[in-house]
A and B are shown apart, each in its own frame.
Chain A
Amino acid sequence: MSEYTPDTIPQKRPLSMQLDPALFEPATASEKEQHDIMRESTTFFRDGMRKLFKNPLAVFSLVVLILLVVVILFAPLVVPYGYSQIVTVNGKRDRTAANMRPLTYSEKEQESIDAGQKVFPHIFGTDELGRDYFIRVIFGARVSLMVGVFASIIVLVIGLLYGSISGYAGGKLDIAMMRLVDIIYSLPDILMVILLSVVLGQVLGDSLQGTVFASLGNNMISMFIVFGLLYWVGMARLVRGQILQIKNNEYVLAARALGASSGRIIKKHILPNCISVIFISTALQVPSAIFTESFLSFIGLGVQAPMPSLGSLANLARSALQVYPYKMVFPALGICLIVLSFNLLGDGLRDAFDPKLRR
């Protein structure tokens, strides 16, 4: 048993300690506060964004997509060719300028270069009608992206409205609305899309001539209509599920117990949670829509010539595949790049923002 006196310095033993009696004074409140290191709290949004930007793939795809959009927007300003414009030299149609390989010039163009004129290079070559392929691919990408985004917005709007009404109303109305959803859901979508595209294409006939939509062609408009008719069901189910979950959730109960009104409940509690899930679902809907559009274009139900879309360009390239493989490669790469980037971005968003996945 050892004596523990502050006056004597104890012998050094391996596990002994020297303690200063002054240390046995009570600690002050501020000292205790410093002692307790807490993790900084952040909002849900900031936390999610931080996680998103830590994800290299997601950041990469975001960059790729932004670059793509920039190129698509500004390329037509740089490249002096139109997507339906047949190459001309000195105002005359150049018949030798068809099916040129990338970065080559036709005979007539070569002549005019030698004569001192400037001819903008055909970066991707030309197609069988002598149109600059690069600008066609750019426009094709534009169309594909617009179709993808537009279709997703249609799906979002209809699905959101339908789902929230159904979810919040509850009761018989909810059951009836969901019955309809079940029926539509069980229809095989691609087949119906094809069918309705064919039909609507004929039904619309010439009624769209002269309107904004004429350039897209009946097939595209039919596709939008079909999307509006069929594809919103997934989103509606998702939204309804979210609303139901939260309606019955404890913290809504708690808010109500504190006297909050319905509107406030919806705004403050329900919406922020739903938003992340809905946003992610929409982001992942875009590549799916682009997929569908290129698929339809590939089997001949796509945009009307001469307007290109990546899918229709791929389809046109098929017949001359052995001879001019580059005509297939560029639109194919375009589709893959866009779809891949959106998928990666969507995955990244999901990893960062989905509340269920948070550890």
Chain B
Amino acid sequence: MLKYSIKRILLAIVTVFIIAAITFFAMNAIPGGPFAKEKAPEAAVQAVLEKRFNLDKPIGEQFLLYLRNLTQGDFGVSLKTGREISTTIFDSFSISAYLGGMAVLLSLSLGLILGSTAALMRNKWPDRVIIFLTTLFVAVPSFILATLLLLIFSYGLGWVSVWSVNNQSYLLPIISLALYPMAYITRLTKSSMLDVLGQDYIRTARAKGVKEWMVIAKHALRNALIPVITYVGPLTAYIVTGSLVVETVFTIGGLGSKFVTGINNRDYPMIMGTTIFLATLMVIMTLISDLLYKAVDPKISFD
């Protein structure tokens, strides 16, 4: 287990490094460099930029310096606002983290419950309803859902107010973000549960005289959860990308919407910094999910 963990952690570090490299060199491949704007900056500003970002040095060195800055928490300065990107990231991330975290909780808990219910009541009406709803929600992109919800509940019915820094109503955004993963987790749990319920050891448990609910709760559930854990990595990925649109649609001041703004403004340092930050986050979550999976499945722990 330890050996595996170390191997995975090293791999994760390498991945982050590669991402940083790709990001950096891709950005610098843009003609005119990442610091070129439609309007050429004044000479004084240009000089400050050059000094700050070491633009006069060869590209390889620039990269290493950039990396060094990253590890010290210096993401550079936004071309648009002039603010330290690191401040922007860490400020807005707390909002995004709350939004994303709540969405994860919602989707996981509801997904597990609904999925198990569907498996246990197979072909009866709860199962059919759940199948219908999940098929539907799996096909609706989050931004469409977000816009529709906004349209119906905020603008149309006026039940839920629009988000602002002072009035932070997260209900609709969380739902928009959580619906797709919830549907996916429901289906995953259901198929995993059905798979487990067909196994021989469930029959053994019944033959021993174990109470039916105990057969489900003790013997089946623990096995059924295992595949769901492997989904935590992709789940994070989805939440991160989903937050880009959901925050934009609901005008929430989180990191996602800042990222989108950065893209639209061609604010390259911002794009770079945010990409690396988010990518690192995703790599870490995948790592955690892999390690968790190995810890929970005894068949693999002892390799």
| A–B direct touch in complex (beta carbons closer than 8 A) | yes
A interface list, Cβ under 8 A from B:
183, 186-192, 194-196, 198-199, 202-203, 205, 287, 291, 294-295, 298-301, 314, 318, 321-322, 325, 328, 332, 335-336, 339-340, 343-344, 347
B279 touching A191, Cβ below 8 Å: yes
**Does B18 lie within 8 Å of A291, measured CB to CB?**
no
CB <8 Å contact, A343 and B245 = no
A196 closest partner in B (C-beta): B26
The answer to whether A343 touches B263 (Cβ under 8 A) is no
User: Are B141 and A195 in contact, with the CB atoms below 8 A?
Assistant: no
Decide if B263 touches A187 in the complex (CB within 8 Å).
no
Give per-residue flags for B1-35: 1 if the beta carbon is below 8 A from chain A beta carbons, else 0: 00000000001100100110011001101110000
Cβ–Cβ contact A295 & B237, under 8 A: no
- B164 within 8 Å of A by Cβ? no
- Interchain CB contact under 8 A, B263 and A301: yes
In the complex, the answer to whether B244 meets A299 with C-beta atoms within 8 Å is yes
When the two chains form their complex, are residues A295 and B30 in contact, meaning their CB atoms are under 8 A apart? Answer: no
What does the 1/0 interface line of B135-163 toward A look like (CB < 8 Å)?
11011110110011011000100000000
Residues of B within 8 A of A (CB): 11-12, 15, 18-19, 22-23, 26-27, 29-31, 135-136, 138-141, 143-144, 147-148, 150-151, 155, 237, 240-241, 244-245, 248-249, 260, 263-264, 266, 271, 275, 278-279, 282-283, 286
Which of B144, B155, B264 is within 8 Å of A314, CB to CB?
Answer: B144
Q: What residue of chain A has the Cβ atom nearest to residue B14's Cβ?
A: A183
Given A300-B264, A301-B263, A318-B249, CB of A335 within 8 Å of CB of B283: no
Given A195-B271, A195-B275, A295-B241: A186 touches B11 (CB 8 Å cut-off) = yes
Shortest beta-carbon distance, A50 to chain B, in Å? 21
How far is B70's CA from A75's CA once the two chains are assembled, in angstroms? 54
Instruction: Say yes or no: B136 contacts A328, CB within 8 Å.
Output: no
B26 touches A199 (CB 8 A): yes
CB neighbours of A294 from chain B (8 A): 141, 143
In the assembly, what is the distance between CA of A192 and CA of B26, in Å?
10
Question: When the two chains form their complex, are residues B135 and A340 in contact, meaning their CB atoms are under 8 A apart?
Answer: yes
Flag if A343 contacts B260 (CB, 8 Å): no
> Is there contact, CB below 8 Å, between B245 and A298?
yes
Most buried by B among A199, A322, A344: A199
Residue among B12, B139, B155 having the largest count of chain A Cβ atoms under 10 Å: B139
Residue among B22, B244, B264 making CB contact with A192, cutoff 8 Å: B22
Distance in angstroms between the alpha carbons of A299 and B146 in the assembled complex: 14
Report if A332-B29 is in contact (Cβ < 8 Å); known contacts: A183-B15, A195-B22, A300-B263: no
A198-B271, A339-B141 given; A321·B150 CB < 8 A: yes
Cβ–Cβ contact A188 & B278, under 8 A = yes
Shortest distance between the CB of B188 and any CB in chain A (Å): 14
Bound together, the chains give a CA A325 to CA B230 distance in angstroms of 39
A194 to B140, CA, bound (A): 21
The residues of A that contact B279 with a CB separation of less than 8 Å are: 187-188, 191
Task: State in angstroms the CA–CA spacing of A37 and B155 once bound together.
Answer: 66
Residues of chain B contacted by A199 (CB below 8 angstroms): 26-27, 29-30
Q: How far is the CB of A299 from chain B (nearest CB, A)?
A: 5
Known: A183-B15, A186-B286, A203-B31. A340 touches B139 (CB 8 A): yes
Contacts known (A183-B15, A298-B143); A325 close to B151, Cβ less than 8 A: yes
Contacts of B244 in A (CB 8 A): 299
List residues of chain A with CB within 8 A of the CB of B27: 195, 199
* Of the residues B12, B147, B241, B266, contact of A328 by C-beta under 8 Å: B147
The answer to whether A195 touches B15, judged by C-beta atoms less than 8 angstroms apart, is no
Q: How far is the CA of A287 from the CA of B237 in the complex (A)?
A: 18
- Complex Cα distance, B29 from A203, in Å, reads 7
- B55 to chain A minimum Cβ distance, whole angstroms, is 18
Task: Specify the chain A residue showing the minimal Cβ separation from B180.
Answer: A291
B30 touches A195 (CB 8 A): no
- Is there contact, CB below 8 Å, between B263 and A194? yes
Beyond the given A188-B240, A198-B263, could you list 12 further A-B residue pairs with CB under 8 A, ordered by the A residue number?
A186-B283, A188-B278, A191-B19, A199-B26, A299-B245, A318-B147, A318-B249, A321-B147, A328-B148, A335-B141, A340-B136, A343-B139
Within the complex, the shortest CB–CB distance from A59 to chain B, in Å, comes to 15
CA distance A91 to B203 in the complex (A): 79
A328 to B135, CA, bound (A): 22
Q: Which residues of A contact B139 (CB under 8 A)?
A: 287, 336, 339-340, 343
